[in-house]
Structure formats: structure tokens, C-alpha cells
A and B are shown apart, each in its own frame.
Chain A
Amino acid sequence: MTTIYERRRSPASGLSRRELLKRGTVGAALVITGSAVISPDRAWGVETTALKPDTMATLIKLARDIYPHDTIPDRFYAIAVKGHDTKAGQDPAHKELIEVGIADLDARAGAGGYRGLGWEDDRVAILREIETTPFFQAVRGDLVVSFYNQKDLWPHFGYEGESFSKGGYINRGFDDIEWL
């Protein structure tokens, strides 16, 4: 299993801000260490078992470029793509599809790799070149469900989900529009 874990904010564990900077990570960039991708504020991390952690970090970036919601934190994108690591562990063909696909993105991006391209527009230009490939289709096709089907994200969109247990909306605003 690929695990996403919440990290305790303990100053004793992990890397210091200074160390992070020494490693060349800046701003909101994800940190790659051992077999994990860790958020810069170290509130969460994702442990990979089949894919390279670098690959996972790029997948997270790719997921945000596919469905860019600027006020949704990386954690939700990480949750959405972690299934690729699980699947890669069970299916060598899937592992190949993802690793080769990400390597191709890096190659197209040049020296700094895909994550090294600072502007979203430059990354999206690459994605437009590959949007019909099985790799992109597999990532996007999975993501449209694994991302938008997260209940924790529904409040962001103003969607309330299940309503039967609350008696529906008959007394909870089904006809409350006032601005018309």
C-alpha cells in the first residue's frame, strides 16, 4: 500500500528549513527523501513502494497542472495520484507506463526536468503535445475520479454530498435563492 500520512510538527524530526534550502528546494516545492515525498511544511508525506519518489513528486505536479485549483493544497493531489504507486506495485506494465511517461515529460522539459519549469504555461505546452498518449489518458482518466471524488474536497466546491440522513433539503434551502 501507498500511504499518505500526516506528520507531527515536531522540530526534532525531519529536515530543518535551513537544510531544505541547502538541498535546493524553494517556495512550495515538494521534498524528496528516501522513499517519500514530503510537503515543504512537512505536514504530510507520501511513501512510495513501486514508483520512484521523484516520479511521485512529478505526478503530483502533473495532477495540479491537469486540474489546477489554486486554493486546494498538494495533499489532495497526492491522495489522488497515490493509486498509481499501488497499481505499479501490482502491474509491471503500469509501472513502466508511468515511469516512462514521467521520464518523457522530464526529457521534453530539458535540463531542469518537468518540475523545473517555473511557468505553468510552459508545462501545459508540453502536456498539450502528449495529451493523446496512453500515459496522459491513463493519468487524466484516473484523476478525474480520484481527485473530484474526495469527499473532503467537496466543501471547496460548495457541494454538500449525502443528504438523505439530514432529511433532504426540503427544510434546508432547496429553494432559498434570493438574488434573482
Chain B
Amino acid sequence: MAAPYRLDDDSVVVIIGSGAGGGTLGNELAQKGIDVVILEAGARIEHEDFINDEWDSFAQLAWLDHRTTGGGWRVGKDFPNLPAWIVKAVGGTTTHWAGASLRIQEHEFKALTNYGKVEGANLLDWPITLADLEPYYAKAEDKMGVTRTNGIEGLPGNNNFKILKAGADKLGYKECHTGRMAINSADRDDRMSCQQTGFCFQGCKWGAKWSTLYTEIPKGEATGRLEVRPNAHVVKIEHDADGKVTNVVYADKDGKLQSQKARIVCVACNSIESPRLLLNSESARFPDGLANSSGQVGKNYMRHTTGSVYAVFEKPVHFYRGTTMAGIIQDEAGHDPSRGFVGGYEMETLALGVPFMAAFLDPGGWGRSFASAMDGYANTAGLWIVGEDMPQEQNAVKLHATLKDQHGMRIPDVWFTDHPNDIAMRNHAYKQGQALYEAVGAIRSFPTPPYPSTHNLGTNRMSEKAQDGVVNKWGQTHDIKNLFVSDGSQFTTGAAENPTLTIVSLAIRQADYIAEQMNAGSI
């Protein structure tokens, strides 16, 4: 058979979501001659149509379906219906991501072993090691064209980076450079190089930044074995009497329910929608939702310990010019409990335009302190903190008790409260970030609170034992052999690194496993 596929074709692998996990997995399987249907909730918007305007782009790309929040996090107070800033479109959040592509460190795969028991945290070791993933990291870096790998040059540093680097030197940091970025520093893979446009978060109009939208997906489609169906919002996965999944029910572009049969179903809808879908797929046989015998579906929601430091200088910086995430400091990324917390964090440059700076600098803030900070915009530099947060069972994506979406499915209710370790890490990072900028002459600096989550992780976590998590080391659910999870919700722990490279690497590895198992006839 070749794409497109019929609704009653039960030989296809159905992947739900087309982002880093789903888009990559779809292409990898298609390259092996496996028939794949990707159901994508959002529309297909080609990169030429992206918009260099923060709010207009947000309206074009962001996932804006109704969501609620709970717990002690400030995002829940400032953005009660926007727990996450992620994308609903073909390509998923790879349209919006900044491009930072870092490998998880060896010790982070064994968080429980290396950090020990942390009170209130639900730490666990991954069932895989860095060595298991290394060959796939190498494939992913090549596929994505990550700078400083495969002989690819680093990107040139912009003004924001130059300030970061000068501050890093003053503080004695040694590992500061323009990052390992999935952004072309020279033409590669039929895509052009970065033009320093400054709208990475709004989708790269040049296609210089890797996104499944214009890499994996068209490559998969070219095999004739991949069909991407946009505007197909999955509401439920169904199963047979043996407990095997059989088909996926989705609302099409007209809101009409359709059912696509499947041999295998792979869930790759990001860490909020993936557990939501499994929970909403409850049945008489699985009253707590699919693949949830452990009770861990939706639990251990992680979002990285984040925050930003912005600083105003005497003279202009124009930090919005050029790559949004233009540089990194990795000296604090190790595990050094003498700092008062376990795990580590990265510092990466970040810039916002005036509209988003106003929205995110100090949400809810007003008056002269706020306005004068905005008046310093042209002279501002900034960095983002991204560090390992603690998995906690009560931090969870739950189904809302009463609110339902237009298809009658319960909406996600996202609960998060910082662990004391998260707070200690963030405060350390704020202090270092402010010291860094003050060392190069900042007049005033701002420890800015976390934005709505971009790194959503852990809600269907990978575990050796079925009672501790939702999927095994291949992302296959412990409970249902032909049901897989293929996104960041697999992460056992968060690690300090931006997660996309690991999501892509896991998807490449999972494709090998699925193909083997299909050949062996075991799924």
C-alpha cells in the first residue's frame, strides 16, 4: 500500500502528533518501508507563511485549546489558562523551539543513584544509559545538522552572546560558546544558513532551523509510505477484547468524528496531551485510562527549573537581533551538591521582542519600576536558565473534573509546585546570572520568573519495572504491546538539557525497535 491510506487499513502505524517525536518517528519508519499515518491536531502552515510578529505568530501557531492550572507555581496565577507555550501545527513545537541540542549527561540518566533519595521527589534511574543512546544521539545530530558536531561550525555570536561571553570570562566560567544548535551555520541538507533574523520562536521563515515540518515530514512523504493528516484531533484510542489497541478516533477539520484503524499506535502529543489522551481513553477494561496499571500516567510532570535574568546597560545591545538562543554557559550543568541542590543548570542567551518582554518580564507588574525597565529595552541583554527539576507525584496532568472540550472530552488540568530543590537551584542561577551581568557593567538586572512551560516532560515515564512507570526502555507501554509513547513524556527525569535532541534520538531508536518487532511478528 502507498499513502494516502484508508480509514479501515489496519496495517498502518498511526502516530499521533508530528513534532520532534512523532515527525521523526514517522520518517524513520517510512524510510524502512513501513506504512505510517500521522494524525496532527493542527493545520499545515509552511515556513514561508510564518510571521515575524510575536502576538500574530502566537495566534498562528500556539496551542490555545482550553486548559486549566493548579498548584503553587506562578504561571498558574499569571497565566491560569496557558500552562505551556507549545504549538498546534504540523511540525509541532519544532516550529517554535530555539534549536539548542544538548546530550543528557551520563550521571543524569542515573538520577536516583547519583543524587540519592531526595525528600518529596519521585526520582528514578532511566532504564537506559548514555552509552545506549550515544549512537542515536550521533544520528540525530547529523540529521538535525547540530553545530559543533559532525564538523559543523558554530554560529557566529550576536551582541547578546558577546555580553554573555564577556560576563562568563569575568566570572571564570570556561564552557561558554555559541552552542550546539540545530540551526544551519552554512547551507546544509537543502536548507540555507541562519540569517540572524531574530524570530526563532515564531518559526524560521528561512528554514535554517531544523523542524520536522520541512525536514523529516517531506522526506517521509517522498517515500510514498507516510501520510500526514492535518486538522485531525485525536480524542480517544480504542482497544479490542485482548487489550490490544485497534483504532484511533479523531475529529476531522469539520469536527466530525472519524476512526482510523491501526496495527500500532504511537502517542507523541507532548507531555500534556499525551497523558490526557491515555486518561481520556478509559474503558470498562481500563477504567483508569490506557497503559495506567502503575497509576503513573500524567504524574511526575516536569517543566525544567527555569527563569531568566535580564540586565540593562548604559549603552545599546539590541539583543533581539540574531539567533534567539545565541550562546550557552555549561559550567553549572554538573552535579555539585555543595551549591545546595542536586542536579545542574545551563544558562542560554534569550531575547524577546517588546510585546513579549512586556508580557513576561514581570507578569502582572506595573508602575514606574516596570515602565523604566521597558524603557531600557534597547540596552538590555538576557539569558534563560534551564535546569533539572525534581519529578514529584503530585505535579501532574489530570483530567478536569467537569470541564470538557468541544468533542466532549475532559480538558487537561495542569498542576505544578516547585520542589525546594528547584527553588534553591533557581535562586543560585539568578544570583550567578545577575553577578555575570553586573561584572560587565549592568546598571540594573531582573530575576524574571518562569514563562509558561516549553519543556514539558515526564508524564508517561520510562521505567525498568512496570509498577514505577508507563513505558519500557523502548517507549513501549508496559501494559499494551502495540501502544507506544514517542515524545518527551517518556523522560524518567528531566536532566538539565533542552530536551528535543533526546526526543529525536529516542524516536530514531524506537523506530528500529518497532521495525524489528514487526518483522518478528510480535506486534
Residues of chain A touching chain B, judged by Cβ–Cβ distance below 8 Å, are 65-69, 124, 127, 131, 140, 144-145, 147-149, 153-154, 157-165, 167-170, 172-177, 179-180
Contact = CB atoms under 8 A, between A and B. Distances in A.
A66 B367 contact: yes
Contact of B374 (A65, A124, A148, A162): A148
A173 B359 contact: no
Contact of A173 (B315, B318, B379): B318
Interface in B286-325: 314-318, 320-322
Give the interface centre of A127, A131, A157, A168 by most chain B CB atoms within 10 Å.
Answer: A168
A93 B52 CA distance: 35
Given A66-B367, A67-B370, A163-B198, A157 B159 contact: no
Interface stretch (B108-116, B143-151, B350-358, B419-427): B350-358
Interface string B149-190: 000000011110011001000000000000000000000000
Contact of B377 (A157, A164, A175): A157
Query: Which 8 interchain pairs have the tightest Cβ spacing?
Result: A158-B378, A168-B195, A168-B197, A174-B322, A148-B358, A162-B52, A174-B196, A169-B321
B129 to A, nearest CB: 40
Contacts of A164: 52, 197, 199, 205-206
Contacts of A68: 367-368, 371
Contact of A159 (B205, B354, B359): B354
Interface of B: 52-53, 55, 156-159, 162-163, 166, 194-199, 205-206, 314-318, 320-322, 353-355, 357-359, 364, 366-368, 370-371, 374-375, 377-379, 440
Given A170-B196, A175-B156, A175-B162, A69 B375 contact: yes
A180 B163 contact: yes
Contacts of A169: 158, 195-198, 321-322
15 contacts: A65-B367, A66-B367, A67-B370, A68-B368, A69-B375, A144-B359, A159-B354, A160-B321, A163-B321, A164-B206, A175-B159, A176-B318, A177-B162, A177-B163, A177-B317
A13 B311 CA distance: 49
A158 B322 contact: no
Give the interface centre of A153, A172, A180 by most chain B CB atoms within 10 Å.
Answer: A180
Given A69-B374, A175-B162, 13 more contacts: A67-B366, A131-B366, A144-B359, A145-B359, A153-B354, A159-B353, A159-B378, A160-B320, A168-B196, A168-B322, A169-B196, A172-B321, A173-B321
A163 B377 contact: no
Contacts of B205: 164
A6 B492 CA distance: 60
A67 B359 CA distance: 12
A154 B367 contact: no
A161 B355 CA distance: 10
Given A158-B316, A175-B322, A177-B317, A69 B371 contact: yes
Contacts of B317: 177
Contacts of A177: 159, 162-163, 316-318
Nearest to A154: B354
A69 B199 CA distance: 26
Nearest to A176: B159
Interface class of chain B by DSSP? loop
B53 A162 contact: yes
Contacts of A174: 156, 158-159, 196, 198, 321-322
Contacts of A131: 366
A145 B157 CA distance: 31
Nearest to B51: A162
B118 to A, nearest CB: 35
A91 B189 CA distance: 53
B206 to A, nearest CB: 8
Contacts of A147: 358
A68 to B, nearest CB: 5
B162 A148 contact: no
Contacts of B321: 160, 163, 169, 172-174
Contacts of A163: 52, 197-199, 321
Contact of A67 (B163, B371, B377): B371
A177 B441 CA distance: 14
A157 B378 contact: yes
B196 A157 contact: no
Given A149-B355, A161-B52, A172-B321, A180 B440 contact: yes
A78 B353 CA distance: 22
A176 B367 CA distance: 33
A131 B365 CA distance: 10
Given A67-B366, A168-B196, A175-B162, A161 B353 contact: yes
A149 B55 contact: yes
Nearest to B379: A158
Nearest to A179: B315
Contacts of B367: 65-66, 68, 124
A123 to B, nearest CB: 11
Nearest to A136: B366
B354 A148 contact: yes
B208 to A, nearest CB: 9
Contacts of A159: 320, 353-354, 377-378
Contacts of B199: 163-164
Contact of A144 (B314, B315, B318, B358): B358
